[in-house]
Amino acid sequence: MSFNVRCAPANDGINNWANRRELCLKTIRDWKPDLLGTQEAVETQYEALVAGLPEMQIVGVARDDGKRKGEWSALLFRPDRFELIDSGTFWLSETPDVPGSRSWDSSLPRICTWALLRDKQAGRELLCANTHLDHVGKIARQESARLIARKLPELARGAPVILMGDFNAYEDESSYAALTSPLGGFIDTYRQLNPTRGEDELTYHAYTGKKNGSRIDYILHTNQLRTVEAQIMHTPATNGVYPSDHYPITAIVGWK
């Protein structure tokens, strides 16, 4: 599952974090993902994920200082299914090892958090990564996608890769192509099973509940894996409150 949980500002009206917190956690619990990538969570939300999902282990750091300042692109997994081998975070910049760094036309520091895992059922390794590309800089999105496409296979050491996140880009943008072209090497799970673009593929609905539109949230994988199922979870409002301003997206991915 990839889920932009929307940061916790004070100006979201009825959809403020205090009202959404349990709905957000319930959405995750109901689907029971083995792997979960969340975007935008700030410290209070990070702590809510830790406390509210005790069955999952969490890795990652905040983007502003590499510690706890700013938003996380947190990665969670079930330790009863996966063993953590290694993990880390790199910045989407020309200096990816420098916390808080940004480059190109990026409006904010952006990160990619990854974990190298061993599947206890299959006895095989995979790398899972989670990211959130810049919402303003088109060049930054493109160069960030190219950086991710280079770095993740290196970190995976030959293992398959799953990449999820909020790309802030539609399918016709160069950043999407940088990942899903033959050179990028990733397969879009949803498009693999739905080759024709539909009218009801909106993933960022801005608390409207609308469905008509295009995706900006994705789950991708390399060719060593196969897509079994993929969907956009059009989560409804409860008493006028939505779990987030994004719909979560899910996929079932199998070993070849």
Task: Please state the domain extents for the chain.
Answer: 2-255
Give the span between the Cα atoms of 38 and 130, in whole angstroms. Answer: 8
Residue with token string 């060719």 = 223
Q: What are phi and psi of 66, to 5 degrees?
A: 75, 15
CATH class of 2-255: alpha beta
List the Cα angle 168/170/59 in 5-degree steps: 40
Going by pLDDT thresholds of 50, 70 and 90, the confidence category of residue 123 is very high
Residues 206-228: tens digit of each pLDDT: 999 999 999 999 999 999 999 99
**pTM score, whole prediction:** 0.97
Is residue 31 over pLDDT 90? Answer: yes
Is residue 51 over pLDDT 90? Answer: yes
